[in-house]
Amino acid sequence: MHVPDGFIDAPLSAATGVVAAAAVAVSLRGARRELDERTAPLAGLVAAFIFAVQMLNFPVAAGTSGHLLGGALAAILVGPYTGVLCVSVVLLMQGILFADGGLTALGVNITDMAVVTTVVAYAVFRGLVKVLPRRRSSITAASFVAAVLSVPAAALAFTLIYAVGGTTDVSLGKVATAMIGVHVLIGIGEAAITALTVGAVIAVRPDLVYGARGLQQKLKLRVDGELVDVPAAEPVPVAARSHRKVWITGLVTSLVLAGVVSFYASANPDGLEKVAADKGIDAKAEEHANADSPLADYGVKDVENARLSGGLAGVIGVGVTVVAGSAVFWSVRRRRTADTTPVSTGV
């Protein structure tokens, strides 16, 4: 998915460059929190790891093979900020040294492959870990789902960027179906390898998996003194259970809504746009309409793929939304548990 020079027009390349720079700046600050002062050597070696893992070809159906993108893997193993940083550095070095991906398209590539994959994967992962029972196997399952969504999400982001600033005249619907179709397949392979890799690391050194760190801390409980007491653990599961039910119902309903209902929702723009095309409204205006509502557009161009692509877009959209929502929830709950712990130990 490395975008070459000239594929995306100059203004959008600059805009995505700004987005990428902002994301990297935020990640630089966040990574210090994740890795404290070990940032440079650890993130550097993880970047080298991702670079090596991208050479790991796995066979997909019909004699072809894909390779890992590594965004989801990095986010789960070392945390989202460090993940963004590592993949960005890999992309930067690939651009400068190997000429893989254009220099002016660096912003597009980083936004698409480093930021979108990592953020989507980590959000989905966090949400699922909240919902699923606290076991190692659920970490593996959550990382599978996170990776399987992250790759088509990157394809979706690419299509979005293409819709706004693509320099070629291939129709948006075709780009969307081709990109998402191919990347759903790649995503499945990526997800399987990511989940198995996370499982393998958890089996040997669970303390290294960032995604499993939250779980362990909650089980162990940080107590101010050296006292490792269990009683304070009681309020946590209660709070978690009450949240969990809400989480499960919310996730299931939104997934169903997104997957099934969005198909019918996208029938409306279909009709509208068809009318517009029949009336012969000029191409320029149509393009802008597409740019404004790309999600609606996926179900439009090819009727056969409308159900699939529309539903998929919906599911990914829900993933993003759930993540955003869960982030708020999580932070609120985090603070509450942090408040209760010192009080209970004080007593």
Partner 1 sequence: MGAGHAHKLYRHGHSPVHALPPHTKLAAVFAFVVVVVSTPREAMWAFGLYAVLLGVVAYLARVPAPFLLKRLLIEVPFVAFAVLMPFVAEGERVEVLGMSLSVNGLWGAWNVLAKGTLGVAASVLLASTTELRSLLLGLQRLKLPPLLVQIASFMIRYGDVITDEMRRMRIARESRGFEASGVKHWGVLAKSAGALFIRSYERGERVHLAMVSRGYAGSMPVIDEVTASRAQWSYAFALPVAALVVCVLGWTL
- Decide: 180 and 171 in contact? Cβ < 8 Å: no
Q: Three-class SS of residue 57?
A: strand
What is the end-to-end Cα distance of the chain in Å, rounded? 57
- For partner 1, give the closer residue by CB, 201 or 267: 201
Q: Three-class SS of residue 59?
A: strand
Residue 59 β-bridge partners: 65
Least Å distance between CB 84 and partner 1? 11
- For partner 1, give the closer residue by CB, 53 or 323: 53
What does the DSSP assignment read for 63-108? T-EEE---HHHHHHHH-HHHHHHHHHHHHHHHHHHS--S-STTHHH
- For partner 1, give the closer residue by CB, 90 or 258: 90
Q: Which residues contact 337 (CB under 8 A, 6 or more apart)?
A: 218, 235, 236, 239
- For partner 1, give the closer residue by CB, 169 or 339: 169
Extract the tokens encoding 216.
């362990």
Residue 132 phi/psi, 5° resolution?
-75, 160
Q: Which residues contact 228 (CB under 8 A, 6 or more apart)?
A: 220, 221
- For partner 1, give the closer residue by CB, 197 or 326: 197
- For partner 1, give the closer residue by CB, 47 or 129: 47
Least Å distance between CB 10 and partner 1? 5
Least Å distance between CB 62 and partner 1? 11
Least Å distance between CB 213 and partner 1? 13
Least Å distance between CB 248 and partner 1? 28
- Decide: 270 and 300 in contact? Cβ < 8 Å: yes
Least Å distance between CB 26 and partner 1? 12
Q: Which residues contact 328 (CB under 8 A, 6 or more apart)?
A: none
Least Å distance between CB 262 and partner 1? 23
* Buried-exposed string 76-107: b where 16+ CB fall within 10 A, e elsewhere: bbbbbbbbbbbbbbbbbebbeeeeebbebbbb
Least Å distance between CB 144 and partner 1? 11
- For partner 1, give the closer residue by CB, 38 or 220: 38
- For partner 1, give the closer residue by CB, 163 or 318: 163
For residue 211, the 8-state DSSP code is G
